[in-house]
Each structure stands twice: as C-alpha cells, then as structure tokens.
Amino acid sequence: MTSGRRREPPLGPGGRPLRGWRVVPLLLGVAALAVNAVILLSDRAPGLLSRLSARIDAGVNRATGAAGVDVPGAGVRVPQSDFGLHVAIWAVAALIVGLAMWSWASLVMGAATVLAASVALEFAQEPYTRTRTVQMADLLANTLGVVTGTYAVVAFALAWRLFFRTRSPG
C-alpha cells in the first residue's frame, strides 16, 4: 500500500540521524559506562575530581547570583558536594547511549539500563572501596543526569523530525 508520497522517518531517536553509524555512539556509550565505573569505584576519585566538582558548584553559585536569585546561607561555608559531577557524567552516558537507539521503546530501555548501572555502581561503592559510601544525593543526581541526557536525545529526535519535514517537498 504505497502512495506517491515520500515516507517520513519513524518518530524515534534513530529515525534518520546517525543511520548506519549507531554502532559508534553505542561503543562510546559502553566506554562512558566503563569510565563512570572507574570513577565511582576509585578511592582516589574524590580527591582527583574535587576540583572539577568545586568548579561546577562554583559555576552554579555564580549563575544563581548573576540571575539575582537569593541563595540562603550563601555566606556559610559547607563542604561542596559532587552532585553536579554525578549529573554530568550520567547525562553524558544517557545521551550517548540514547543516540544509538532506534525507537522510543529502545530509548526507554537504554535509559533504564543506564539508570540501573548508575544505581548498581553507587551501591557497589561501599563494598568495593575503602572510602566511598552510598549517598542518596548521589542517587538523585544520577537519576537527574540520566533523565537530562534522555530528554536531550528526545529533543534531538524531535528537532530532526521537524527539520526533515521542512526539507521534504510537499
């Protein structure tokens, strides 16, 4: 049952973009998960990554100050968390894995797999490291990162579809 009209790509992250190249983001996604595992299961990671985490926290504080948002207790010195770092590494992992997906169902399964890996790695910190512990804030940051990366893939897929519609004749 074919009409003379051009067939639109399927509405999903893998419609037309990266067609034939999905193995590249998939391999990069696996590599991102491996790097995240090394970071989260390393006893030295907190010291090595504290500068990056402090920069992320300082940037957030500067941005809220520039926006005129009053930050309660801004003058109080408290230890900086690595919340931003957790969000960033899991957002990147979810984004890369998501770009390898070919349908909405596979995107959801890929995101769920990345989220499960983030939770498993967080719980593995206590038994497999000497200095790291499970923190609920880290689990929340991991979840926020996976959701952010997944929404970035959804935005890309929808933008690609819109671009494809405007470029196709009639």
Residue 57: pLDDT over 50: yes
Q: Please tell me which of 62-71, 85-94, 129-138 the model is most confident about, judged by mean pLDDT.
A: 85-94
Spacing of C-alpha 9 from chain mean position: 25
Question: Residue 26 is which amino acid?
Answer: L
> Contact, 129 vs 41, CB < 8 A?
yes
pLDDT, position 62: 62
Read off the pLDDT of residues 74-131 as tens digits, 9 standing for 90 and up.
554 434 468 888 899 999 999 988 888 878 888 999 999 999 999 999 998 888 887 7
Residue 151 binned pLDDT confidence (cut-offs 50, 70, 90): very high
Q: State pTM to two decimals.
A: 0.67
CA dist list (Å): 58 to 33, 90, 99, 110, 146: 26, 20, 30, 32, 22
Contact 25, 13 (CB under 8 A): no
Q: What's the pLDDT at 119? A: 95
